[in-house]
Amino acid sequence: MALSSSSAAPVIDEALYSRQLYVIDHASMLKVMETNVLLIGLGGLGVEIAKGVILSGVRSVTLFDKQPTTLEDLGSQFFLSEEDVGRSRAAASLGKLRELNNYVAVELHEGDLDEETLSRFQVVVATNLPLDEQVRINRFCHARGIRFISTELHGVIGSIFVDLGNKFEVREPIDEALDIYSIINIDRGEKTIITLSEETSLKLGNGSLIKFSGVQGMEEINLLAPVEIKRIDQLSFSIDVDSTNWSPYIKDGVATEFRPALIMDFLPLEEALVKPKLQDFGLPKFDKAQQVHLGLIALGQFHRENNRFPTPHNAEDVATFLRIVTDLNEARHIVEEIDTAFLSIYATLSTVQISPLAAAFGGIVGQEVIKASSGKFTPISQFLHLDYTNALPANYLSLDKSEFDTNGQNARYSAYIKTFGKTVMESIFKQKNFLVGAGAIGCELLKNFAMIGLGVKGGYVQVTDMDTIEKSNLNRQFLFRSDNVGGFKSKVAAAAAKVMNPEFNVVAHSTRVGPDTENYFNDAFMGDLDLVTNALDNIEARIYVDGRCVTFRKPLLESGTLGAKANLQVVVPDLTVSYASSSDPPEKTFPLCTIHFYPYKIEHNIAWARDFFEGTFKNAIDNVNGYIRNRNYLASLDSQSRKTKLDVVKGIYETVVSHRATSFRDCVIWARLRFQELFYDRLSQMLHDLPLDMVTDAGIPFWSPPKRAPTPVIFDADNDLHLDFIQAAAHIRAFNFGIKEVENRDAIRDLVRAVPVPEFNPRQKVFNGSADPNQVADVAAAAIDEDFSSKLPSPAELQGYTMFAADFEKDDDSNFHIDFITAISNVRAVAYGIETCDRHKTKGIAGKIIPALITTTSAIAGFVVMELIKVVQKKDIETLNNTFLNLSVPSFVFAEPEPAPKIVITPTWSITLWDNLSFVEPLTFQEFIERFDKERNIELTMITCESSLVYAFFQTKHLKTEISKAYKSIKPDFQGTFINMSILGRYKETGADVELPLVRYKVQC
């Protein structure tokens, strides 16, 4: 039963939900945590929805399903086992679903679905119910304001229907950060024209809404309600507001994108079936939505007349279904022309559920539940119909019926045999797959691999991940439980997947994949594989694995998520481009001068705060320990720049001599003096050297946007933000010195009031901004002439003295690291007139946390495995789908992969990126060169082996040496089976330089 409401406000466990909270804000999360959900149906599709909703943190989930467990259920319902056969699916799943999240009450309803039961819930989700039952339940829910979602899966075809009632408010329609633009000028007139800083390019179009703030002089514009813009160019726009009589613009200000709430009205199912709103994919290859809609209605009528669904591959049932389809279409004109073949597949697979599409639809529906609970993001309006019939074998309807008959064997995989046939499934059973990564996507893939039987008969799945499990992983990496924290992800995930399918042949590794582990994941390992699936979270590793797949000509399935967005790329030898052909953009960085001197965004301050943390609490301490342990430490700095060496020596001196801490009081004193230095003295010096009225050599005011002139901060012990800085800084300093006795906040306030602070006196010119306003040199820091090294105690005098460097750790709330970053960046924000940032957002930016949702992860992993099934069948490129999801909009884009382009080497020789030349017989360099000359009319000019130059036209040392022997004389520790050789040459007929394809040469010794 649903839980009764409680007056106690829920408390968010930020350690558990941290990644989710960067997509679903705290206010939305609180709404989610107050939601009671009824889930009807616990087959493969239902359990996927249950998993996502429970991990997302709703208040309660009540399960309803009286269907007894069958052996076929084991192929998609991962929380059932052979011991559960005969038990109700809901009851059998209850215990394992409860393990997913201790904050969510998971209950079982064994009575009827009467109106009294339905009225206890805020959201009702129905899976694979007969259409008449869906209509009955929805009619009641719509009238009572209960959010209703239904979904059904029929083999490779699925549908979702969403009814969130009338006047449903969507507070934030999309998972995208608001655009913010720095203003440098505003021209008054009947139409007001706004000019933006060159560092910000206008992305918004006509009709977008903007809100102004921080404008100095023209204060009237700050009071405007959100107003529509008319784009002029990428650096200016106008608004239809007469500002003729307004005050003149002086400086500063930002224009922030404004997204209004949406109000949506939903039809009840009974009406929506007649007047459907269908999700538009915008691509001809997904034009079957109307056919699916016709099939959905016909299937409801078939069940009404027969009290069952069609039997798989039963010709009589299919014929009956098609007669219903024809009669319906004649009466309602749903489609112009009935696709008989497509609807025959719809009927024949009407009772079948397969794990990959259950995962995909389960993830999508799970996100719709979160939308229904919170009003965060745009719901589906109202039908989503999707088919994956292109994953079926060619000539599907013409295949002999015996192809789909299990003959009482392989019952666990019977749904897949009914869907894809024995021949395809035998290939899947033999596959040898390498899964790189066992995090969120990795867990979902392992589950799907186990369900479909990937590698269970003569094949295998090898999985590797060097990371260990953290608490924050438990919210979206569903194979892990709290008692697994600290264990290797790959090993725990593999063991959990093995429980789901005892036949699953999975081998776990905890070794990183990279150039330094090629002796581990060696040529023999790669050569034995059939395909590779990536579940990685960084571009460098993705590019490396992609390169290995190109070298060894292995298909690669590459995927990733970012909040509500996800993507999938299919990489197939000879057919498509590789991942590296168009990889993800590099991580955004900021100019150093902006970070250190001219911040205008909170992100600049947080980047500066991280640099300060590393330099002060880690690097400086490492330098002290290095000095103590290595008597030649100072001499080792001679290779560094003079400024760097002076900074290191000065830092050691200040740490062990002038500011050495022996008590927590010393740490408070140090923190107070650093506050004064950072936020009063340094900023006062900057304004002394670069006054507010300063102009550049070009006659432009130096302090022009986006630059902001700082205001020195006067410390106030009663200012909570100031005290936050002192408290956090003092605690981390105490950790550095191994001081255990610390004080509480009130005691710190009393201590800091008593700290004497030297009066500030301007020094010689420190900041020089006149020659180049984009560059500032801290002259004082570079001109430290005092010989601090002569004042240092000798390393012998410090023997036994150990300091403790603070390695930045974002997920430990007791270490004050995030508290310090938040405080120092916000004090600086106040000084520069930048909007401050709460601790949660600061943690996300400073910790480079990737926003993540279990729902998105589940959905994209399901689509990955559907593409894997196509790759196993060696499908043509026209059937493959690169996939781009944004569950917040929602948007589903399926595009054909880009084909591998031909590269012309010579007029008679063209290649693609997949072409490499293999040589297995022993050759000297001379013989190798002559081979190209004779066969390709190419004169080789340079050869590198694994990035080492081994031959050039001006260097003939190794000409008569066998290639692998020559290479091992340069790299004696090389242990690979093949050497990768990059070659440059000259086409002799024209003299044109050519770059040849990769050459793989078999090691001979």
Active-site amino acid positions:
593
> How far is the CA of 700 from the CAs of 88, 697, 705, 832, in angstroms?
77, 7, 11, 20
> How far is the CA of 413 from the CAs of 116, 151, 457, 501, 863, in angstroms?
39, 23, 12, 11, 19
Question: Dihedral of CA 637/640/641/645: which sign?
Answer: negative
Which among 303, 285, 297, 300 has a CA at the least distance from the CA of 335? 297
For residues 818 and 843, the answer to whether their CB atoms sit within 8 Å is yes
Residue spans of alpha helices (H) in 187-272: 269-272
Which among 272, 330, 279, 324 has a CA at the least distance from the CA of 300? 324
Which among 161, 178, 128 has a CA at the least distance from the CA of 379? 161
For residues 236 and 196, the answer to whether their CB atoms sit within 8 Å is yes
CB atoms within 10 A of CB 327: 12
Give the span between the Cα atoms of 312 and 404, in whole angstroms: 9
Cis peptide upstream of residue 382 (ω within 30 degrees of 0): yes
**How wide is the angle at C-alpha 598 spanned by C-alphas 595 and 602, nearest 5°?**
60
Which among 661, 637, 851 has a CA at the least distance from the CA of 740? 661
Burial (CB count within 10 angstroms: exposed 0-12, middle 13-18, buried 19+), residue 812: exposed
Phi, psi of 212 (to 5 degrees): -100, 150
* Helix or strand (DSSP H, E) at 375: none
Tokens 């000297």 found at: 924
Tokens 């009807």 found at: 40
CA dihedral 875, 876, 879, 883 (to 10 degrees): 90
Give the span between the Cα atoms of 20 and 25, in whole angstroms: 8
Q: In what order do the strands lie in the sheet with 506-509?
A: 506-509, 460-464, 432-436, 531-534, 556-562, 565-571, 882-886, 891-895
DSSP 389: G
DSSP 88: B
Coil/strand/helix, residue 602: helix
Tokens 């043509």 found at: 876
The two structure tokens encoding residue 877: 């490129």
Cis peptide upstream of residue 890 (ω within 30 degrees of 0): yes
DSSP 432: E
Side-chain-side CA neighbours of 658 within 13 Å: the count stands at 10
The two structure tokens encoding residue 594: 């902006």
Say which residues have a Cβ less than 8 Å from residue 616's Cβ, sequence separation at least 6.
none
The two structure tokens encoding residue 158: 């699925």
- The one-letter code for the residue type at 662 is T
